[in-house]
Amino acid sequence: MNAVIRTEKLSKSFGENRVLRDVSLSIPEKSVYAIIGQSGTGKSVLIKTIIGMTAPDSGRVWFKDTELTYLHRDDLAPIRRSFGYSFQNAALFDSMTVGENLAFPLIEALHIKNSREIKKRVAELLEWIELPGIESKRPEELSGGMRKRVGVARALMMQPEVLFFDEPTTGLDPVLSETINNLVVRVNKELGVTCVMITHDIPAAFRIAGRIAFLDQGFIIAEGAPADLVLSDKQMVKDFIRISFSELQT
Ligand SMILES: Nc1ncnc2c1ncn2[C@@H]1O[C@H](COP(=O)(O)OP(=O)(O)OP(=O)(O)O)[C@@H](O)[C@H]1O
Ligand SMILES: [Mg+2]
């Protein structure tokens, strides 16, 4: 397996609160990788530590062959452009139109100045997320689901190699959740982007992820393909799976 991201014994505490404890994982290139677990168990902190938003207390992170952990900011910046994020409350800029929101990373990070080129790329991506022609709308005019998709589109403008989703479907109705989950699959399959997704939607994780990591109080207590997780002997994992899937039948 070619790992696009690898962590080795990542640990992070906030004061007395030990949030990550020796987290070692490998995320295969061009896969969908899900991170699941109870609320407050360190999932978001894990992603933030991987992308360099939060410094670990110890442990290491690699992107392909490059160790990121203690890279200088200047050296980390170009590598971080390979990462895109769609965060829990990844707000679009409310003062800008959808078109301006999408153009923003092109202008600010990629320094593209040709306005025809920018317009073309924005229009193409809006079409790709099946929201063509909404350039002049403002975020407040969009539904929650549309806003999420525009957020994903904005992350895709940078043509990232890895896209991180922190609970992309939380707060959405089941139909919209399905749309977003399908969008994750399309980003992965059609664009070849590795998708790392924190989710509370366990059935969706089992359906679309190649591998799943189960985090509990900062430890990875189970990791593997969905079929492996089902066989886990950890009570917490069993309960989580049983409850998530039995909810489906009610
Ligand atoms: N910047 C911070 N300073 C102090 N404590 C923090 C900080 N960020 C996170 N924490 C703590 O770390 C723990 C894990 O938080 P984290 O956001 O990773 O949880 P999570 O698994 O993503 O939960 P949820 O499913 O609710 O989003 C929590 O106890 C939280 O209070
Ligand atoms: Mg979180």
What's the CA angle centered on 24, arms 65 and 203, to 5 degrees? 110
33-89 pLDDT per residue, tens: 999 999 999 999 999 999 988 999 999 999 999 999 888 888 888 888 899 988 766
The verdict on the CB of residue 41 being under 6 Å from ligand 1 is yes
Q: Would the pLDDT of 248 be above 70?
A: no
Residue range 166-192: mean pLDDT, rounded = 91
Average pLDDT for the chain: 92
The verdict on the CB of residue 39 being under 6 Å from ligand 1 is yes
Q: Residue 249: pLDDT band by 50, 70, 90 thresholds?
A: low
DSSP 3-state helix, strand, coil percentages of the chain (rounded to 5)?
Answer: 40, 25, 35
Residue environment code for 224-239, b if the CB has 16+ CB neighbours within 10 A, otherwise e: eebeebeebeeeebee
Q: Are 33 and 214 in contact (CB under 8 A)?
A: no
The verdict on the CB of residue 17 being under 6 Å from ligand 1 is yes
The verdict on the CB of residue 218 being under 6 Å from ligand 1 is no
Structure confidence at residue 89 (pLDDT): 63
The verdict on the CB of residue 49 being under 6 Å from ligand 1 is no
Q: Are 50 and 246 in contact (CB under 8 A)?
A: no
Ligand 1 centroid, distance to 218 Cα (angstroms): 10
Residue range 88-106: mean pLDDT, rounded = 87
Q: Residue 170: pLDDT band by 50, 70, 90 thresholds?
A: confident
In sequence order, what are the residues at sequence separation of 6 or more whose Cβ sits closer than 8 angstroms to the Cβ of residue 162? 4, 5, 27, 63, 82, 83, 84, 193, 194, 195, 196
If you take atom 14 of ligand 1, which residue's CA is the nearest one?
A: 42
Rounded CA-CA distance 77/7 in Å is 19
Nearest ligand, CA 50: 1
Structure confidence at residue 88 (pLDDT): 65
Ligand 2 centroid, distance to 167 Cα (angstroms): 7
Within 10 angstroms of residue 39's Cβ, the number of other Cβ atoms is 6
* HSE-CB for 138 with a 13 A CA cutoff: 5
Q: Going from the N-terminus, what domains does the chain have, and what CATH number goes with each? A: 3-82+162-249 (3.40.50.300), 93-159 (no CATH)
The verdict on the CB of residue 89 being under 6 Å from ligand 1 is no
Q: 157: helix, coil or strand?
A: coil
Structure confidence at residue 27 (pLDDT): 98
The verdict on the CB of residue 102 being under 6 Å from ligand 1 is no
If you take atom 16 of ligand 1, which residue's CA is the nearest one?
A: 42
Q: Residue 196: pLDDT band by 50, 70, 90 thresholds?
A: very high
Ligand 1 atom nearest 45 alpha carbon: 18
Ligand 1 centroid, distance to 167 Cα (angstroms): 14
Structure confidence at residue 245 (pLDDT): 83
71 secondary structure, DSSP code: -
103-157 pLDDT per residue, tens: 998 998 888 889 999 999 999 999 999 999 999 999 999 988 888 899 989 989 9
Q: Would the pLDDT of 16 be above 90?
A: yes
The verdict on the CB of residue 53 being under 6 Å from ligand 1 is no
Q: Would the pLDDT of 250 be above 70?
A: no
Lowest mean pLDDT among 2-6, 46-50, 134-138, 166-170: 166-170
What's the CA angle centered on 76, arms 74 and 81, to 5 degrees? 110
